[in-house]
Amino acid sequence: MANLSQEQWWENAQADANAVILDVRTEEEVEEKSIPGAINIDIYQGQGFLDEIEKLDKTKSYYVYCKSGGRSNQACLLMGQLGFDSTFNLLGGITEWEGPIK
């Protein structure tokens, strides 16, 4: 797991052919604004979150974000315990995001 600034996070995600952008916020938060192309799995779903994460391809690189960086950091740690080797946390989350949104 690595904590990346938004510039590093976005540049790496765009250059990585195996990149998956993962939003771990609630559906309500996602509806307000989100990063284009992100898949949403709400970390507050507890076991449901873990079940959905287990379905993901562990060979991909996951660029994870939330509102401010706390939940995404937790998600990256959990994913590491589940065998994911490449997870990248967006420092500051979408609150400080200045890149594209939808």
> What does the pLDDT profile of the chain (102 residues) look like in tens digits?
999 999 999 999 999 999 999 999 999 999 999 999 999 999 999 999 999 999 999 999 999 999 999 999 999 999 999 999 999 999 999 999 999 998
Give me the helix-helix angle, 70-81 and 47-54, nearest 10°: 60
Q: Cα(27)–Cα(32) distance, rounded to whole angstroms?
A: 9
Among 1.10.10.60, 1.25.40.10, 3.40.250.10, 1.20.1260.10, name the CATH number for the domain at 2-90: 3.40.250.10
| Active site positions, annotated | 66
Residue 75, both tokens: 């998600």
